[in-house]
Amino acid sequence: MNNVRAFWATAKRELLIRCRYPDWFVAMLLWPILMPTFTVFATQALAGPDNSGGEVFAELAGTSDYIGFVFIGIVMWSWLNTVLWQVGATLRTEQRRGTLESNWVTPASRLAIMFGSGLTNMISSLITVAVSLIFCKLMWHIDLTFSPLLGLVFLLSTAAIYGLGLIFASLVLLVRELNSAVNFVRGMFMVFCGITYPISVMPHWMQTVAKGLPLTYSIRLIREIGLAGAGYRDVSDAFWILFAFAVSLLAGGYMLFILMDRIAARKGILGQY
């Protein structure tokens, strides 16, 4: 069985379906503009007219570019959000469409179908990130330094977030409900990962929780490499922790998917919703 062909066919299928809902493109272009904007204005208000608040912020955050700081946090969180909703809901969407069983009775690898569908979701979320970046560059003049290391961090973050999406998708096969779990996780990440503030302002126990979340490291690394120009040696600890998260979440997602697929076949709940 040609799994690569199944993978591309699924990606193409999902892209075609997306293209038949044109309003989705409007949301994809507007959302990344609206999301950072409201936080940037809130931050400007807190900084005060003489930017005295900004100086305190720079002391805590390690950078005076608070718009860039907030932008990275918001974009990464929005991205996680999108991946959790879209990749996490891949199988649920198929269940709702009524097409999961007709896919599952083909000899194609179920993981290839799953990843193929996720690829389109990933591309759409990357477009969202790109639109955010262009908008903030033009509107707020943020200055991100691009480097291979930054690209690598982004890739690792993608793997970690995708692994998390795979875990959600697998669990959905069993629990058949996604909303409450995604809302809980995105709320956790929003509060604990330092989306719009440095995690050092949180109580100690919350900082401990933050260290157990992959997005904390993604955001920290992208801020340090992209805004402060840090090199590998400056961030190697966080880099390898993110690497470990990426590998373990992807492997965990894969194993959970295989397990849940088997459990769903045993329980006979594949076609239920």
Partner 1 sequence: MSTVNSIEVENLRRVFTRRTPRKLPWQRNRQVNGNELCVTGSDKSGNQPKTTVAVDGISFEIQSGEIFGLLGPNGAGKTTTIKMLCTLLEPTSGTARVGGYDIVREPAKVRGSMGTVFSGERSLYWKLTGRENLEYFAALYDVEPSTTASKIDSLLSKMDLESKSNEPVERYSTGMRQRLAVARALLADPPVVLLDEPTAGLDPQSARNLRDTVRSLRDEGHTILLTTHYMAEADELCNRIAIIDHGRIIALDTPAALKAGLQEMHSLEVEVDRAPDGVLDELRSLPLVRGVESHASNNGLETWTIRVLTEDSRQTLDALLDLLRASGDRVLNMKANEPTLEDVFIALTGKSLRD
SS3 43: helix
138 touches partner 1 (CB under 8 A): no
**CA–CA dist 20, 270 (Å, integer):** 27
Looking only at residues 95 through 114 of this chain, which bind partner 1 when binding is defined by CB under 8 A? 97-99, 101-108, 113
2 touches partner 1 (CB under 8 A): yes
Binding mask 143-182 for partner 1 (x = CB under 8 A): ----------------------------------------
Q: How far is the CB of 11 from partner 1 (least distance, A)?
A: 11
Nearer to partner 1, 152 or 270 (CB): 270
6 touches partner 1 (CB under 8 A): yes
Instruction: Identify the residue among 5, 25, 60, 200 touching partner 1 (CB under 8 A).
Output: 5
Provide the token pair at 273.
């919703």
Q: Which of 53, 60, 58 is nearest to 200 (CA)?
A: 60
Instruction: Identify the residue among 22, 49, 148, 268 touching partner 1 (CB under 8 A).
Output: 268
Exposed / middle / buried, residue 62 (Cβ in 10 Å: 0-12, 13-18, 19+): middle
Q: How far is the CB of 24 from partner 1 (least distance, A)?
A: 12
Provide the token pair at 125.
């979320």
Instruction: Identify the residue among 1, 23, 180, 233 touching partner 1 (CB under 8 A).
Output: 1
**CA–CA dist 81, 84 (Å, integer):** 5
SS3 59: helix
Q: Which of 265, 258, 237, 36 is nearest to 167 (CA)?
A: 258
Query: Please, which residues have CB within 8 angstroms of residue 11's CB and are 6 or more apart in sequence?
Result: 116, 117, 119, 120
Q: Which stretch binds partner 1 (CB under 8 A): 5-13, 30-38, 128-136, 180-188?
A: 5-13
Q: Which stretch binds partner 1 (CB under 8 A): 46-54, 139-147, 220-228, 259-267?
A: 259-267
Nearer to partner 1, 100 or 167 (CB): 100
Q: How far is the CB of 101 from partner 1 (least distance, A)?
A: 6
Q: Which of 227, 241, 158 is nearest to 198 (CA)?
A: 227
Are 198 and 223 spatial neighbours (Cβ–Cβ below 8 Å)? no
Residue numbers of the site for partner 1 (CB under 8 A)?
1-2, 5-6, 8-10, 12-13, 16-17, 20-21, 97-99, 101-108, 113, 265-268, 270-271
